[in-house]
Each structure stands twice: as structure tokens, then as C-alpha cells.
Amino acid sequence: MSDTIMTGKDGAPLIRAYTVGQLSVRCYLVVCLKTRQAMLIDPAGSERLLVDDLKRDGLRLVYILNTHGHPDHTSGNDTIKKMTGAQVLMHEEDDRLFNTPSIVGMFKAWGFHATPAVDAHVLHGETLQLGELSFQVIHTPGHTPGSVCLYGHGVLFTGDTLFVGAVGRTDLPGGSMEVLNRSLKERLAVLPDETIVLPGHDYGDTPTSTIGHEKLYNPYLK
């Protein structure tokens, strides 16, 4: 099952949200309808369903983007890459951290396997082009050193950096509340109030929000 966030009319992206994996990650399918190019953000389960939906709609998966390296957000990378040939993208800091033996061992003990090395790294400020759609990469360290958000066409994919009414935890390796607060204030709170927030988990009163709403009611953005 999926929820349609945006329908792709008038040049906007088609966006669907799926809840996948053992920790109920919100995985997003982003589509340029003019070119039929697609991107998956944080695929972490239900790989066959995701790929079947791509095939049913005649879409070509170009990118698999991880907002950060925690395995509950990356566990579908390998399977979907093998099924589609899509490029896996992540920030360099998380690609490095979450492939160190100690971190791999910790998450393996929790029942997760490591994601393979990614195909390319995304950098703060760069533009990710998907057909005729453009998204800006925003590096938002704090939840992890290499957490990123993706901003464009009035929407912001926040991963575990920003939830509805809350933020991601900072007590796992590489996390820092001080760094996260700086990312929130300097890189997210400055975006237009009408920006739609699409988080990596549905932990709030609603699955989505806006930057303006979070600035009013989220204690970490007030």
C-alpha cells in the first residue's frame, strides 16, 4: 500500500510514500512523469512491491538515495540495485562510518546487515537532477554525521533529521544534539514556511507537516 503525496501535475513530481521494514520507515518514490525517471528515498523493505510498482507504471529507477546510513533506512539498497541497476547515493561521512567493522558488528547484533559501498556521494549544496526535476542536497549532520535532506518543488525529505513535532535520536554512534540543533536552525528553519516536510518515520500527529508548522509547534525548531 502507498499514499500519494503529490500527483505530478503541472510539472511537479509524483510522490508516493510507503511504510516499509521492521522499523516502519517512510520510503518515498519520486517520479518525473515527463521522462518516467524515478528515485527511491530510503528503501528498507518490501523490495519486491517497490520494484513491481516501478514496472507496472513503466518507470526507470535512476537513484536510490539514503538520507543517512542507519541500516533501517538502507537495508533494501542491495536487492533493489540488483533488480534495477539504479545508483545508490549517500553522503560520504555516513558511507564511511557505517561500513567500519565496529559499527557493522553492532547493527548485525541488532539483526541488520551492512549496506554495500555506495556508487556515488552527495554533497551539500549540489543539485540532484531527476529527469526535469531538480532537488538540492542539504547536509544536516546531528542524527548521523552524514545525514542529508533533499529539497525541491516545495517539499523537503528529512529522513530522521526532522520529524513531525520531534527530531531524530542522537545517542547512536556519530550523533550529536548540539550539531543537530545547528543543522535545524541554520539549514532547515530558513526554508520557506510553506515547505512540506516528509519525514523518515510517521512519529507525529500527522504523517507530514510544513516548516512553518514545525517552527510554531516543534520544540526543537521554536
Separation CA 160–CA 25 (nearest Å): 10
- Asked if the structure places residue 184 within a domain, the reply is yes
pLDDT, one tens digit per residue, over 80-100 is: 999 999 999 999 999 998 888
* Nearest alpha carbon to residue 27 among 64, 70, 57, 62: 64
In this structure, is residue 155 part of a structural domain? yes
The string of pLDDT tens digits covering residues 100-158 is 888 777 777 877 776 777 999 999 999 999 999 999 999 999 999 999 999 999 999 99
> Which residue's C-alpha cell is 535520536?
169
- Whether 43 maps to a domain, the answer reads yes
181 falls within a domain: yes
Place of cell 507530514: 208
Residue 159 lies in a domain: yes
* CATH number of the domain within which 204 lies: 3.60.15.10
Structural domains counted in the chain: 1
**Do β-strands 162-163 and 166-167 pair in parallel, antiparallel, or remain unpaired?**
antiparallel
Is residue 222 included in any domain, yes or no? no
Residue 47 sits in which domain range? 3-217
The pLDDT score that the predictor gives to residue 100 is 83
